[in-house]
Amino acid sequence: MSLGFSILRWVFRLQRNCFTKPKTVLAIAVFIAALVGAGAPFVKTSNDPFLLFGPDNIHRVKLEQQNAEFGESNRTLMMLAVKTGAEQPVLLEAERYLAGILDAPENPLRPDNLIHFSTVSKLLPAIGYPLEFTPLSDVAILVEERPALGDTFFNREKTALILSLTLDLEDHTDAGLQIAYAQEQALASHIENRFPAVNVAITGSISLSEALRDAMTFDQRYLFPLTLLVNFAVLFFAFGNFRITLATLGASVLSVVMTVGVAGWSGHVFATAAVSSFSIVMTLTVASLIHIIHAIGARQRNLRFQTNAAVILASFRKLTIPVIVAHTTTAIGFLSLNWADAPAFQAMGNLVAVGLIFSLVIVLFISPIVLFLGCGTGEIHDQRMRKISRVLTSTWAKAPGKWALGVGALSVVALLGLAKTTFDDQFIKFFDPDHPMRQNISEIGADMGWSQTLDLVLRYEPEMLLQPQSFAQLEKLIAEIKSLDRVFEVNSPIPVVQNCLDTRTPPYTGALIDVPQKMLNFCVRSNWLVNDDVGNASFAAGFSALRLNVLLPRMSSAEVRNLAERIEAKTLDFGFSPETAAVSGINVMSAYLSKVNTRSMLVGSAIAMLVVSILIGVFLRSATLAVLSIVPNFLPAMAALGLWVWFNGEVGMAASIIGAMTFGIVVDDTIHILYAMTRGRKKQSNRGVQRVLQNVLPGVLTTTLALGLGFALIMLSGFAVNQQLGFLTSSTIFIAFLFDLFVLPWLFLVFFGRKQKR
């Protein structure tokens, strides 16, 4: 403990020295803030979906390996559709016109970085029908007769067709993704303007990135100002002093400026969702100052003979220890997000932890000066909060045990909702039903009969893929996959190969397993120009791997996981191994988001709770209090999650981090309450604890309003993950207040009050 006392003495000495040189300290603080904050314009954000998956995530690894083998990083599906079969000629004309644009590198409408596209007009020459000799009337006949065309690209009514575009983007920041999205939209608009009867719908990873950016627009533009406004309203209501309110907010904004600057100077590419970190830092800084300002108000009333400078310095000195512990425990809670599988959450946790370092320095050494110079002899009029606190504590004192049991019983009811928890992280669920991306996906589903895909990649030894027995085995495997529930279709090279065999002179009419080796090689190599260096959407370079597209209707995450596992089990039955057969794709990765993150965060949450409890035990010199602190801080998070399930049924990836993140936040009020009660050892009776609560509860009540309402604003986000995070965090904070008021004091009396009755 001598080291701790030495650190405290150094902190107290530095506080006094800073307070005696206010102008110099403020000048240095402004200079450092300007220097660090200058990095703000360089903050890099991206909506690349890969930021939601850790580099070691097995499903991300599968997709990255697939992209490397097939030479692509982004795939776009574009649907052209007409209303009736009579308009099919217009549909075919629009498709050929579009294919001409995509096949002309010099055309300004052709998207940059387009490395491959698959469509009817692209396949026709490969199966022996050059476009210049194949009029659209013949194409309409071929679509009906050739499964390689009709089944691969068209719906059953032949009123809609699908195109696949593959882009290899080098720039995955917001700027690069926005350019790619704008080019795709310009192409779609051009087709719709030229062919008014044709409807165009686009989906894919680039559209998803733009949808994420669009959903986060509100957060970037309005979330921080709204949080500032809500905090101003709470502080002005609590303190009744305009200048003190502004001084408090000024200190919190200073911590945000430095946090944003560090984010910019770091050069790290943050997921756009990490923008909410700045509002979190501001709210947490305000929460730390609230307890100190209420302490200043109490001293102003009780010790009127003291100068304002002495009151401010003494109040900061009195609460330095709980402020340091509160900042430390909160930082530990956010640092535990490094156990999450999502880099976006890891970056948010680290950014908030860095912001809390700036916040602690500002609260301890800069805020006393700001309050003194900016507020002068202004008094804190917090009578309203103290009156509310007296009513609440009197209510508690009348029946401590009953109130504790009542809050506990209600929490148990909320916890029962966890039994109904269903994780569903399909990306489409992240956006409002009327979002353009969801509308496009719905249109594709309505016209094509399917709206999402899984990729099955099969890897072969050299020269094995082009063997007749391999294609015969593939034909049987595809039949098995198509027999699974909810599988709409499986796109594979077999229809094209079969078309080649059917049109030979004479046609080949035998089974695939009996086809002559040279004939099979010709039909494959003539249709897919693959060599040892170049592959395409179906075959990897050197024919080392084959990719099948499994077409599905809209499904839940659980259904996608189940189907992916069943398909991989089928491949094992056909002699493949987990290394040579893998189901992957964005839909598969998103289906495992919550499951993987929840499993990862179990370790992070446990470590955070253990470390925080040890710190509280050391700080309060009581192992019993260390254990007791877990109850009012962990159960509220679980109760909030249960409430969400009762109301909504499904939860997303926000639920996986809520325990660790909120534990570090709500424990702050617990620390202030326990610190106040342990300082009054002779007041460990019902009446004594009530008096202690009356003194500390105004700060707890104000921080609850500031934090709870501040995080509730995140529910206004256009991003469903942030909406869930806002609800769960704000609900946890308000439930934790009930535990701190009605459960924690009663537990304190049970374990410590009886010892003092003598």
Q: What is the mean pLDDT of residues 280-291?
A: 87
Residue 52 lies in a domain: no
Among 568, 590, 612, identify where a domain stops: 590
Cα separation of 750 and 743, whole Å? 11
Say which residue the tokens 């830092």 belong to.
281
pLDDT at 661: 73
Q: What is the band of 423 on the pLDDT scale with cuts at 50, 70, 90?
A: low
Q: What is the mean pLDDT of residues 53-67?
A: 81
Among 558, 590, 622, identify where a domain stops: 590
Cα separation of 39 and 354, whole Å? 15
Q: Same domain, yes or no, for 586 and 460?
A: yes
Q: Same domain, yes or no, for 665 and 547?
A: no
Write the CA distances from 682 to 295, 619, 685, integer angstroms. 21, 19, 8
Residue 31 lies in a domain: yes
**What is the identity of the amino acid at 237?**
F
pLDDT at 376: 61
pLDDT at 4: 64
Among 590, 610, 632, identify where a domain stops: 590
pLDDT at 195: 95
Residue 234 lies in a domain: yes
pLDDT at 426: 67
The model's pLDDT over 661-683, given as tens digits with 9 standing for 90+, comes to: 777 788 888 888 888 887 755 55
The model's pLDDT over 359-377, given as tens digits with 9 standing for 90+, comes to: 999 999 999 998 888 666 6
Residue 438 lies in a domain: no
Percent of the chain with pLDDT strictly greater than 70: 93
Whether the Cβ atoms of residue 731 and residue 644 lie closer than 8 Å to each other: yes
The model's pLDDT over 178-194, given as tens digits with 9 standing for 90+, comes to: 888 899 999 999 999 99
Range of the domain at 454: 444-590
Residue 405 lies in a domain: yes
Q: Same domain, yes or no, for 583 and 728?
A: no
How many domains in the chain? 3
Say if residue 129 is exposed, middle or buried (CB neighbours under 10 Å; 0-12, 13-18, 19+): middle
Asked if the model's pLDDT at residue 268 lies above 90, the reply is no
pLDDT at 183: 92
Asked if the model's pLDDT at residue 396 lies above 80, the reply is yes
Report yes or no on whether pTM surpasses 0.85. Answer: no
Q: Same domain, yes or no, for 619 and 563?
A: no
Q: Same domain, yes or no, for 731 and 653?
A: yes
Q: Same domain, yes or no, for 383 and 474?
A: no
The model's pLDDT over 319-342, given as tens digits with 9 standing for 90+, comes to: 888 888 888 888 988 888 888 887
Asked if the model's pLDDT at residue 626 lies above 90, the reply is no
Q: Same domain, yes or no, for 106 and 30?
A: no
The model's pLDDT over 236-252, given as tens digits with 9 standing for 90+, comes to: 999 988 889 998 998 89
Write the CA distances from 717 to 684, 722, 727, integer angstroms. 45, 6, 11
Residue 43 lies in a domain: no
Q: What is the mean pLDDT of residues 105-129?
A: 87
pLDDT at 756: 43
Question: Which CATH number is 162's domain given?
Answer: 3.30.70.100
Q: Same domain, yes or no, for 236 and 331?
A: yes
pLDDT at 758: 40
Name the DSSP class of 373.
H
The model's pLDDT over 501-556, given as tens digits with 9 standing for 90+, comes to: 888 888 888 888 899 988 988 888 887 777 777 777 788 888 899 999 999 988 88
Q: What is the band of 734 on the pLDDT scale with cuts at 50, 70, 90?
A: very high
Write the CA distances from 110 to 21, 199, 211, 491, integer angstroms. 64, 19, 22, 26
**What is the identity of the amino acid at 62?**
K
The widest CA-to-CA distance across the chain, in whole angstroms, is 111
Cα separation of 658 and 721, whole Å? 11
Q: Same domain, yes or no, for 718 and 746?
A: yes
Q: Please tell me which of 168-177, 196-205, 598-607 the model is most confident about, judged by mean pLDDT.
A: 196-205
pLDDT at 755: 45
Cα separation of 668 and 696, whole Å? 12
Top-confidence residue, 258 or 267: 258
Q: Same domain, yes or no, for 202 and 228?
A: no
Q: What is the band of 702 on the pLDDT scale with cuts at 50, 70, 90?
A: very high
Q: Same domain, yes or no, for 75 and 144?
A: yes
Residue 348 lies in a domain: yes
Residue 742 lies in a domain: yes
Q: Please tell me which of 203-212, 429-438, 673-682 the model is most confident about, judged by mean pLDDT.
A: 203-212
> How high does pLDDT run on average in the chain?
84
Q: Same domain, yes or no, for 622 and 733?
A: yes
The model's pLDDT over 62-116, given as tens digits with 9 standing for 90+, comes to: 888 887 887 666 778 899 999 998 999 999 999 999 999 999 989 999 998 888 8
- Cα angle 594, 596, 598 (rounded to 5 degrees) comes to 60
Cα separation of 303 and 130, whole Å? 96
Say if residue 556 is exposed, middle or buried (CB neighbours under 10 Å; 0-12, 13-18, 19+): middle
